[in-house]
Amino acid sequence: MVFEEDEVARYLYGQRDEHLKALEAALDVEIGARGTELHIAGSPPDVRLAELVLSQLYVLARKGHPLTPAEVARAVSILAADPQISLKDIFSDQVFATKHSKAIVPKGLNQKIYVDSIRRNDIVFGIGPAGTGKTYMAMAMALAAYFDKRVKRIILTRPAVEAGEKLGFLPGDLAEKVNPYLRPLYDALHDMVELERAEKMLERGIVEVAPLAFMRGRTLNDAFIIFDEAQNATSAQIKMFLTRIGFNSQTVITGDITQIDLPSRKMSGLVEALDILHGIPGIGFCTFNDTDVVRHPLVQKIINAYDVLDQQHEREDAEQAGVRGR
């Protein structure tokens, strides 16, 4: 491969060729760089994929798009799944600019589908494992909607299921008791907006962070609402929440149906909602998987390890049930 611009090529390679090394680690190839010329050795399919990744990342590099080894690895994963995809369409879709003027963009195809679904639909379900950016991207979309004056407030909620009926035994007023369960939502907000501005938005009620129980009896107009960890809501709670949505409001509901903390006798309302709400116009459904994890690289490996363990337990349970049934 030969690139036109030496400076852009060096940026594409990364400091000490870290981006090329990330590509070598993701594919079974060896890459030698000399100026604007690259030599790639390996199996023909891997070489073709490496060339495709580099050619598309070069286009992004020319536009000044920030590249990291992690993004190179994500680019490999995206194009390996579908070589017809344009990385430019994904990585250049700015959702929101943070307090440090950092552009928040989709980090993969499913995040792009998720963002586009939120743009098209009044209600969107984002389902998948931890670390796939479901809540983070929803928060970015909510802030963009507020600053573009499409909504007047942002409401963030999640069930405090871990607390159960034990909230009464915790010290402090109700807000102090439920805050630990809402902390991830505060974290996402503070990551995108300056601390002082975020605190003012909270004080003025522009951003409201509240437990799910606080939604009862309300009508939520002109709002962008994020319902996080919805797998831990019952059927009645999901129905209550969905019927709170008012005019000119948008709702994103996120959850991981493999991490349900409800008592074993109770069915997750999220699982039920996914079953009965499909096909209704204006409601979108987006599914993430372990390849979409955008946290530390070890997070994806941890998720995979536990998935293997869960499958093993399911097989053992099935075998024991078969023995008892004889």
Indicate whether 141 and 71 sit together in one domain.
no
Looking at residue 233, its pLDDT comes to 92
At 270, is the pLDDT very low, low, confident or very high (cuts 50, 70, 90)?
very high
CA distance 69 to 66: 10
Indicate whether 116 and 49 sit together in one domain.
no
Of 91, 111, 135, which residue constitutes the final position of a domain? Answer: 91
| Position 164 pLDDT exceeds 50 | no
Domain enclosing residue 212, as ranges: 96-295
At 185, is the pLDDT very low, low, confident or very high (cuts 50, 70, 90)?
confident
Indicate whether 226 and 276 sit together in one domain.
yes
Q: Is the dihedral of CA 235, 237, 240, 246 positive or negative?
A: negative
CATH number for the domain that contains residue 13: 3.30.1370
For residue 157, give the nearest of 215, 227, 205 by alpha carbon: 227
In a domain, 1, yes or no: no
The DSSP element (H or E) to which 315 belongs, if any, is helix 297-325
CATH number for the domain that contains residue 234: 3.40.50.300
**Any idea which residue has 């709670």 for tokens?**
237
Indicate whether 147 and 247 sit together in one domain.
yes
Looking at residue 72, its pLDDT comes to 93
Indicate whether 132 and 279 sit together in one domain.
yes
DSSP 3-state of 40: strand
Looking at residue 134, its pLDDT comes to 93
CA distance 131 to 129: 6
In a domain, 175, yes or no: yes
Indicate whether 77 and 168 sit together in one domain.
no
Indicate whether 52 and 86 sit together in one domain.
yes
In a domain, 144, yes or no: yes
Indicate whether 128 and 234 sit together in one domain.
yes
In this prediction, residues 317-324 reach a mean pLDDT of 75
In a domain, 313, yes or no: no
What percent of the chain is modeled with pLDDT above 70? 91
**Where is average pLDDT lowest: 105-114, 131-140, 209-218?**
209-218
Per the CB < 8 A criterion, the answer to whether 118 and 112 are in contact is no
Q: Quick one: tokens of 289?
A: 């998987």
The predicted model scores a pTM of 0.81
Of 76, 91, 106, which residue constitutes the final position of a domain? Answer: 91
The total domain count for the chain is 2
Indicate whether 17 and 116 sit together in one domain.
no
In a domain, 156, yes or no: yes
In a domain, 323, yes or no: no
In a domain, 308, yes or no: no
First to last CA, the chain: 64
DSSP 3-state of 286: strand
CA distance 150 to 223: 9
C-alpha distances out from residue 290 to 77, 128, 228, 237, Å: 12, 8, 19, 28
CA distance 239 to 295: 32
Using CA atoms in the order 76, 253, 238, 300, what is the torsion angle rounded to 10 degrees?
Answer: 30
In this prediction, residues 290-296 reach a mean pLDDT of 77
In this prediction, residues 20-47 reach a mean pLDDT of 94
